[in-house]
Chain A
Amino acid sequence: ILNVEQSPQSLHVQEGDSTNFTCSFPSSNFYALHWYRWETAKSPEALFVMTLNGDEKKKGRISATLNTKEGYSYLYIKGSQPEDSATYLCACPGAGNNRKLIWGLGTSLAVNP
Chain B
Amino acid sequence: DGGITQSPKYLFRKEGQNVTLSCEQNLNHDAMYWYRQDPGQGLRLIYYSQIVNDFQKGDIAEGYSVSREKKESFPLTVTSAQKNPTAFYLCAIIINPTIISNQPQHFGDGTRLSIL
Contact = CB atoms under 8 A, between A and B. Distances in A.
A46 B105 contact: yes
Contacts of B106: 46
Interface stretch (B12-20, B41-49, B70-78, B79-87): B41-49
A32 B43 CA distance: 17
Contact residues of A: prevailing secondary structure: loop
Interface in B76-113: 90, 100-110
B109 A31 contact: no
B37 to A, nearest CB: 9
A76 interface: no
A18 to B, nearest CB: 25
Interface in B29-49: 40-45, 48
Contact of B42 (A45, A98, A103): A103
A69 interface: no
Interface of A: 4, 31-32, 34, 36, 42-46, 49, 51, 89, 91, 93, 98-106
A32 B102 CA distance: 6
A101 B1 contact: no
A31 B110 contact: no
> Contact size class for B?
20 to 34
B64 to A, nearest CB: 16
Contacts of A104: 42
Contacts of A102: 42
For the complex of A and B, the 5 pairs showing the least CB-CB separation, nearest first, are A46-B104, A103-B42, A93-B101, A43-B107, A99-B101
B58 A100 contact: yes
A43 B41 contact: no
B1 A31 contact: no
Given A43-B90, A100-B48, A4 B100 contact: no
A54 B103 CA distance: 19
A89 B104 CA distance: 12
A100 to B, nearest CB: 6
A89 to B, nearest CB: 7
